[in-house]
Amino acid sequence: MAAFLELKEISKNYTIGSEQIWALRDLSFEVASGELICIIGKSGCGKTTLLRIIAGLEKQTSGEIILNGQALKDTGRERGMVFQEPRLFPWLTLEENIAFGIKGRMSRELNYKTVADLMEMVGLTGFARAWPSQLSGGMAQRAAIARALAVDPAILLLDEPFSALDALTRSKLLTDFLHLWQRTHKTCIHVTHDVNEALTLGQKIIILPSNPGRIGDVISLPFPYPRSLENPELRAIKERVLSQFFADFTD
């Protein structure tokens, strides 16, 4: 498969006070079309920074990102982003929030149908007129996913979308998200700090080292869905991922 999205030696440094810190250093990887990739790493290792650079919300210090053969700069509708928090617009109803990106870009009927379909897909039918402040955290996060999907982006970037939720809601949303991906086969980069989440979802796991500059491990997971984490092969991989985390710690 040809690379759909290609990151070439992406580096990002920030100046904090008088210190230069590297959030990312010479990070390269490729994503094929339709692939579901999980990026995993500890807190502060640059996961959000990486997604924000791909989304165009932040400029890399050096390196290049190629999407479909073209170098990326700035934000664009072909890259959908789901943030760590739902970030719904409080002055819009749920359906207006989901329609935010497509408003005025298609006929009223098509717009309505798209939103209704998405609400059904993420299980929010019946809440069309609710205000964001009336939704639970899980519902709001599902709405945020629907809003990103509404514009039908070529690639969906998800920044720990379920990390703020309780364990039960999280595992339910994880299953829902997996079904959604199996139906749409959208290219996804899913960032998480939860090994189990990465093992449940990812066709490929990229381990972002907490010490930038070290090459992260890339692990392929050629296992069918839905997966059981009791699978011995997956358990072995989990050990491998965890041991890398611990190796990081003792550095």
Ligand X SMILES: Nc1ncnc2c1ncn2[C@@H]1O[C@H](COP(=O)(O)OP(=O)(O)OP(=O)(O)O)[C@@H](O)[C@H]1O
Determine which helix (DSSP H) or strand (DSSP E) holds 160, and give its type and residue range: none
Q: What is the CA radius of gyration of the chain?
A: 18
Do 33 and 4 contact (CB within 8 A), yes or no?
yes
Using the minimum distance from each CB to another protein, give the nearer residue, 64 or 85. 85
Q: Which of 151, 154, 178, 241 binds another protein (CB under 8 A)?
A: 151
Q: How far is the CB of 247 from another protein (least distance, A)?
A: 35
Tell me if 11 sits within 8 A of 42, measured CB to CB: no
Q: 241: closest CA among 194, 201, 188?
A: 194
CB under 5 to 8 A by kind: which of ligand X, another protein, Mg ion, none does 245 bind?
none
Residues found near ligand X in the complex (CB under 6 A)? 14, 16, 21, 23, 41, 43-49, 193
Q: How far is the CB of 68 from ligand X (least distance, A)?
A: 25
Q: Is 4 helix (H, G, I), strand (E, B) or coil?
A: strand
Which residues ranging from 77 to 96 are in contact with another protein (CB under 8 A)? Answer: 77, 79-81, 83, 85, 87, 89-93
- Which one among 134, 136, 175, 231 touches another protein, defined by CB under 8 A? 134
| Whole-number Å distance between alpha carbons of 12 and 60 | 5
Q: Is 133 in the site for another protein (CB under 8 A)?
A: yes
Q: How far is the CB of 87 from another protein (least distance, A)?
A: 5
Helix or strand or coil: residue 113? Answer: helix
- Least Cα distance to 192 among 157, 216, 222 occurs for 157
- Tell me how far apart the alpha carbons of residues 82 and 157 are, in angstroms, rounded to a whole number: 6
Residues 24-83 that bind Mg ion (CB under 5 A): 48
List of residues contacting another protein (CB under 8 A): 55-57, 75-77, 79-81, 83, 85, 87, 89-93, 100-101, 131, 133-134, 148, 151
